[in-house]
Amino acid sequence: MTRDAARRNGLTATVCFPKGNLAPEGAVIKSTAIDPSLIGEDGVYRHRGPARVFTTEEAAIAAIKSGAIGEGDVLALICGGPKGAGMQEIYQVTSALKALPHCKHVAVLTDARFSGVSTGACVGHISPEALAGGPLGKIVEGDVIELVIDRAKLTGSVDLVGDSAGSFDAAEGARRLAGRAPRADLAPHPDLPDDTRLWALLVEASGGVWGGCVYDAERIAARLAIR
């Protein structure tokens, strides 16, 4: 089926790639998986809510099961990228959220990846990852995060727009993130295998998660000062 034929039959693009002060090198969201009732008449999904930050999948799932994730929250699962957990697949988190009556009103941010069967507003592959100095590794509980996803134009943003002291715009959010130190609890998974750690280093040296799936051997060699 051609692109035009697909559109005539109501088929649309599945994903878009938001950026913002929390994802300066990009991210991905399966925008068609967002509950249709949350999409405005202009085809745009908007969500603004407080961050709930977790460094392990286990901690995030425990919070969901205990009822600690409220309507409107933004669940941020960090340390799940290549250097943290080998690009962890977080379907257990998105699946656990489905048990909440307000599931559709909870957004998810992660530097890990998500499953093709995941539903909801889940922004993954956020880059740089937390353990590579990404701003996602600087957010704290209660930070206000805004997601804007235009499903028609395939554009979007994910930004820090507030903290305990009040609201501000995305540009101010970028300045504040630049002035913050990384969280003290950032750490790779204790069982991360050595071969995965080496792969993660190659990914970072080659340009990061969004640097492409083909390694830049010359760039890596230059970083390692090897010829």
Q: Is-catalytic flag, 115? A: yes
Distance CA 114, CA 128 (A): 17
Tally of helices (H runs) and strands (E runs) in the chain: 7, 8
9: enclosing H helix or E strand = none
Task: Give the DSSP letter of residue 35.
Answer: -
- Pairing state between β 155-163 and 107-110: unpaired
Q: What's the length of the chain?
A: 227
State in Å, rounded, how far the first CA of the chain is from the last one.
Answer: 48
Q: Which of 31, 66, 95, 115 is catalytic?
A: 115
83: enclosing H helix or E strand = helix 82-85
Report CA Rg, the chain: 18
Active-site residue set: 115
